[in-house]
């Protein structure tokens, strides 16, 4: 091939390489977004598929940079059997793409079958990205190699340093300097019974960018140093006296706090049996002696990349856990605990009927007049104190706060709480509120109403969740509260029947309540002696 044609082809292939890497990075970002979806926890197989897609994507990036970057030169293109050479590259790149597309399509089918439209839509976007990557790979063709790059291509074609190209495998979401700092500071322990081997290996590692290196000259010393300091990577010789490297490996993997340490075995006995045994026992890789610097750099780089991803995943999980705790804390402030559990496990709260529920309504007497004669900041301050008092007293008497409605307070007993006598607990709560509210700066008076029966409870709508209750029992409690005298607790006949052996109540006779026929109402007097 003429040199000018080889230069054109090299440039074209470089553009294709950068496009493939860019789209693969976009794919990895999509993967992270989809993997973080809370709904995906219902589909453990899909999580496995996504992990496999991620691994294949990283393999693809490595192969692209190798085949279309490091291993590519004008001389190689001039001397190659071009059709065969480009066909071989397409073949090697298609292998991970086939895996990516296969797992993605299986995952999409499972999500579509389950009817999860949002997740399925994101998977479709992921599959489209994979297909676009495949189109770029198919551009690696002898029939197109002399074509000039598209005018729409906006890839920066500057030459990359070895560190930048190595970092390209990790994605663009983190600065290069951050990774290089991680590489310099990652803690490495070199273990070999021959001091000269430790020194040479440490020099090699230092030369390729690793600065935080310590050495140990026998197994027991290595285990002691690991216990005291902990290390990210251990380069471990197999053939050592007293305690072999395999014994050290077993000790490391036996302890839970050391299992994340990456161990790379080193031995002059470069046999397949040794390699297989070490990998089975948990080693990350195997290096033969004498050391090959290029092989050491590549395999150490792979370990560091994996450790980088582990750390990022751990940070991400910790961040997710913090956000989850904040989310659950907020939900527990807004909704009752049992409703939070139902919502977080099933994403819905089913409306249901509750029987034998005592409903308490408490309301400030003359609140409208108070608001007309006081400034809003003062009203807000006193309402906050009143609301806090209601919550505190309700918890004390095992009531579940449902909501505050302006100056009104609504709570239940026997619905979301276990109460031996729900009406009695509501009475005790109301009586304490009537006494305690007058100790607040506003010196308000309260009146309260209590009914006993069945209610409908649940969450209506999909935004700004609020657990609420409905039904005749709720309405009646509100109506008799409105009819109650200041500093008094009124009860319906049904509610009064629940405490007639314990409490004294005075019948007020039939009273006409708004929206209801006249009904007998009782005023709580006190506990029987």
Q: What are phi and psi of 298, to 5 degrees?
A: -65, -45
Give the pair of three-digit tokens for residue 69. 């970057």
pLDDT at 339: 77
Selected from 2.40.50, 1.20.120, 1.25.60, 2.30.30, the CATH number assigned to the domain covering 3-172 reads 1.20.120
Q: pLDDT tens digits, residue range 91-122?
A: 788 878 877 887 888 888 888 888 888 888 88
Assess whether pLDDT exceeds 80 at residue 334. Answer: no
Task: Check if 180-310 and 342-527 are the same fold.
Answer: no
Report which of 503, 520, 502 is spatially closest to residue 511, judged by C-alpha positions.
520
Report which of 182, 263, 169 is spatially closest to residue 219, judged by C-alpha positions.
263
**Three-class SS state of 407:** coil
pLDDT at 462: 67
Residue 233 DSSP code: E
Neighbours of 314 (CB within 10 A): 11
At residue 257 the predicted structure's pLDDT band, cuts being 50, 70 and 90, is confident
Q: pLDDT tens digits, residue range 368-405?
A: 999 999 999 999 999 999 999 999 999 999 999 988 88
Q: Residue 494, Cα to own-chain centre: how many angstroms?
A: 49
CATH no. for 180-310: 3.40.50.2300
pLDDT at 196: 76
At residue 269 the predicted structure's pLDDT band, cuts being 50, 70 and 90, is low
Assess whether pLDDT exceeds 50 at residue 153. Answer: no
Domain ranges across the chain: 3-172, 180-310, 342-527
More reliable by pLDDT, 41 or 508: 508
Model confidence, pTM: 0.45
Q: What are phi and psi of 333, to 5 degrees?
A: -75, -40
Assess whether pLDDT exceeds 60 at residue 425. Answer: yes
The radius of gyration of the chain from alpha carbons, rounded to an integer in Å, stands at: 36
**Which CATH topology does 342-527 take?**
Alpha-Beta Plaits (3.30.70)
Assess whether pLDDT exceeds 80 at residue 187. Answer: yes
* DSSP conformation letters of 146-195: TSPPPTT-----PPPPHHHHHHHTT-SSS-HHHHHHHHHH--EEEE-SSH
pLDDT at 156: 41
């Amino acid at each position: 091939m003429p040199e000018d044609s080889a230069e054109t082809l090299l440039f074209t292939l470089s553009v294709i390489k950068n496009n493939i890497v860019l789209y693969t990075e976009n794919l990895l970002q999509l993967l992270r977004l989809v993997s973080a979806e809370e709904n995906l926890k219902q589909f453990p197989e899909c999580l496995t598929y996504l992990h496999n897609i991620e691994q294949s994507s990283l393999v693809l990036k490595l192969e692209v940079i190798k085949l279309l970057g490091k291993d590519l030169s004008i001389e190689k293109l001039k001397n190659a059997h071009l059709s065969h050479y480009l066909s071989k590259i397409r073949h090697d790149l298609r292998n991970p793409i086939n895996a990516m597309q296969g797992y993605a399509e299986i995952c999409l089918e499972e999500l579509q079958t389950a009817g999860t439209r949002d997740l399925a839509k994101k998977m479709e976007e992921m599959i489209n990205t994979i297909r676009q990557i495949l189109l770029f790979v198919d551009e690696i063709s002898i029939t197109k190699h002399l074509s000039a790059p598209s005018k729409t291509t906006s890839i920066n074609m500057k030459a990359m340093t070895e560190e930048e190209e190595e970092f390209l495998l990790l994605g663009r979401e983190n600065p290069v300097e951050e990774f290089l700092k991680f590489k310099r500071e990652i803690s490495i322990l070199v273990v070999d019974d021959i001091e000269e081997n430790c020194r040479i290996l440490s020099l090699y590692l230092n030369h390729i960018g690793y600065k935080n290196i310590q050495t140990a000259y026998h197994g027991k010393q290595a285990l002691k140093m690991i216990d005291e300091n902990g290390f990210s990577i251990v380069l471990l010789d197999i053939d050592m006296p007293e305690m072999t490297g395999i014994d050290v490996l077993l000790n490391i993997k036996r302890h839970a706090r050391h299992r994340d340490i990456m161990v790379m075995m080193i031995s002059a006995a470069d046999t397949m049996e040794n390699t297989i045994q070490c990998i089975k026992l948990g080693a990350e890789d195997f290096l033969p002696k004498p050391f090959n610097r290029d092989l050491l750099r590549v395999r150490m780089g792979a370990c560091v990349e994996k450790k980088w991803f582990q750390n990022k995943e751990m940070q991400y999980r910790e961040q997710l856990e913090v956000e989850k705790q904040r989310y659950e804390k907020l939900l527990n402030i807004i909704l009752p605990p049992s409703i939070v559990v139902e919502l977080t496990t099933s994403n819905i709260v089913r409306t249901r009927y509750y029987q034998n529920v005592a409903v308490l309504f408490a309301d400030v007497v003359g609140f409208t007049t108070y608001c007309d004669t006081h400034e809003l900041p003062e009203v807000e301050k006193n309402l906050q104190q009143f609301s806090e008092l209601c919550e505190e007293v309700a918890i004390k008497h095992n009531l579940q706060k449902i909501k505050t409605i302006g100056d009104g307070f609504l709570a239940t007993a026997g619905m979301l709480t276990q109460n031996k006598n729900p009406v009695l607990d509501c009475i005790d709560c109301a009586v304490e509120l009537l006494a305690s509210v007058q100790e607040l700066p506003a010196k308000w008076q309260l009146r309260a109403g209590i009914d006993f029966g069945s209610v409908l409870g649940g969450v209506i709508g999909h935004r700004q969740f609020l657990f609420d209750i409905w039904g005749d029992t709720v309405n009646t409690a509100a109506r008799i509260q409105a009819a109650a005298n200041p500093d008094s607790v009124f009860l319906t006949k049904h509610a009064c029947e629940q405490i007639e052996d314990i409490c004294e109540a005075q019948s007020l006779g039939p009273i006409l309540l708004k929206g209801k026929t006249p009904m007998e109402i009782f005023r709580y007097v006190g506990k029987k002696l």
